[in-house]
Amino acid sequence: MSELRWNPLLCEWVATATQRQERTFLPPADYCPLCPTVPGGFPTEIPEPTYDIAVLENRFPTLLAEPPAPAVESSDLYPVRPSRGVCEVVLYAPRHASSLAQEPVEQIYKLVQVWTDRFRELGALEFVEYVFIFENKGEAIGVTLHHPHGQIYAYPFVPPRIERELECCLGHLERTARCLICDILGEERRDGRRIVAENGSFAAFIPFFARWPYEVHIVASRHLQALTDLTAAEQRDLASILKSLLVAYDRLFDKSFPYMMVMHQRPTRPGSYEHYHFHIEFYPPLRRADRLKYLAGSETGAGLFINDTLPEERAAELRERISPAVWVSRSVP
Ligand SMILES: [Zn+2]
Ligand SMILES: [Zn+2]
Ligand SMILES: [Zn+2]
């Protein structure tokens, strides 16, 4: 049973997805459904003895290309629509005990290419208006499978968080004739204290307005709107800066660092999005090695985030732990 229910109080959709209750919860390593199937062993979702990067349909999807009819009726106050869309799982590597941080930069580069292909392909579906690429990492975020993987949701509407960024970018453009995210990047570079890493095509920084202690934004230096706008050199630079940041995250507390990673690209529904600017945001839930930041009353009930650390100090901690990504092979296809 799944459907989209309209919340008139916030003017946004809520998805019901009761089938997700049944999903696999933290299976032991030898019963991982995302590992290759070993001959004579437990049959996983991948019947092959190995793979490199794999994209699967989510077995417990929130959105479906052929969704069931909603279980409840629409009314004027409470519109309901089928939960049409696509949910995919992206397996980063066949290595169960790995993580994106531990994978070689060449593998991350291949992943950037896979993300780009999925953005293009899902974005071309007539019922898809927005392709959202993300990763939930770590049990602190509620991950139910440890195998290194991310997800893609192709939504039948532009989600509210993106609509809000689009509106703010458009407002800034109308006031100043400039791109808001280019201006944010310029300000962070001028100040310098919150910059975590930089290369030819991307900068990583904890923004002035960070909500989370270790929130990092990776922003393209060139004004562009989506993965599909990147040159091959920019794809490599994206892999390099991701590798450097993820390794620095793991070095912070000497453990695999939990985070939400979300990619903010232009919508794929027709329209002009020249005022928008591609970036990736990381929201790690830790404020110290053994302390989680919770979204409590003020954050959840009022929308005011309270960050009890200074972005300038947290950025310095991360910056000290940055080292450049080492490419063994430049000739990855
Ligand atoms: Zn596995
Ligand atoms: Zn820009
Ligand atoms: Zn954003």
pLDDT at 226 over 70: yes
pLDDT mean over 139-148: 89
pLDDT value, residue 169: 98
Q: Which ligand is nearest to the CA of 149?
A: 1
Cα(205) to centroid(ligand 3), Å: 13
Ion ligand 2 contact residues with beta carbon within 5 A: 179, 181-182, 223, 277
Q: Which ligand is nearest to the CA of 182?
A: 2
Active-site option among 96, 146, 147, 149: 149
The chain-wide mean pLDDT, for the chain, equals 94
Cα(260) to centroid(ligand 3), Å: 13
The sign of the dihedral angle between the CA atoms of 161, 189, 242, 212 is: negative
* CA proximity to 264, closest of 180, 199, 140: 180
pLDDT value, residue 329: 80
pLDDT value, residue 26: 75
Cα(86) to centroid(ligand 2), Å: 29
Neighbours of 175 (CB within 10 A): 9
Cα(279) to centroid(ligand 3), Å: 6
pLDDT value, residue 252: 97
pLDDT at 291 over 70: yes
Q: Which ligand is nearest to the CA of 209?
A: 3
pLDDT value, residue 25: 72
Cα(136) to centroid(ligand 1), Å: 16
The sign of the dihedral angle between the CA atoms of 141, 65, 124, 276 is: negative
pLDDT value, residue 48: 86
Cα(280) to centroid(ligand 3), Å: 7
The sign of the dihedral angle between the CA atoms of 86, 87, 92, 96 is: negative
Q: Which ligand is nearest to the CA of 50?
A: 1
pLDDT value, residue 29: 74
The sign of the dihedral angle between the CA atoms of 243, 249, 253, 256 is: negative
Which band of pLDDT confidence, cut at 50, 70 and 90, is reported for residue 20?
low
Which band of pLDDT confidence, cut at 50, 70 and 90, is reported for residue 141?
confident
Cα(165) to centroid(ligand 3), Å: 7
pLDDT value, residue 332: 66
Q: Where are the beta strands (DSSP E) in the chain?
A: 2-7, 12-17, 54-57, 80-81, 86-91, 130-137, 149-155, 195-198, 202-205, 216-220, 259-264, 279-283, 286-288, 291-292
Q: Which ligand is nearest to the CA of 30?
A: 1
pLDDT mean over 292-310: 93
Which band of pLDDT confidence, cut at 50, 70 and 90, is reported for residue 223?
very high
pLDDT value, residue 242: 98
Cα(318) to centroid(ligand 2), Å: 25
- Determine whether 96 is an active site residue: no
Which band of pLDDT confidence, cut at 50, 70 and 90, is reported for residue 49?
confident
Which band of pLDDT confidence, cut at 50, 70 and 90, is reported for residue 21?
low
pLDDT value, residue 328: 92
pLDDT at 333 over 90: no
pLDDT mean over 100-123: 98
Rounded Cα distance between 332 and 17, Å, is 40
Using CA atoms, how far residue 6 sits from 74, 101, 131, 200, 222, in Å, is 9, 38, 20, 44, 37
pLDDT at 194 over 90: yes
Which band of pLDDT confidence, cut at 50, 70 and 90, is reported for residue 17?
confident
pLDDT at 85 over 70: yes
Rounded Cα distance between 252 and 244, Å, is 13
Rounded Cα distance between 295 and 183, Å, is 29
Report which of residues 60 and 10 the model is more confident about.
10
Burial class of residue 82 (count of CB atoms within 10 Å of its CB; 0-12, 13-18, 19+): middle
Query: What phi, psi does 242 have (nearest 5°)?
Result: -60, -45
Which band of pLDDT confidence, cut at 50, 70 and 90, is reported for residue 31?
confident
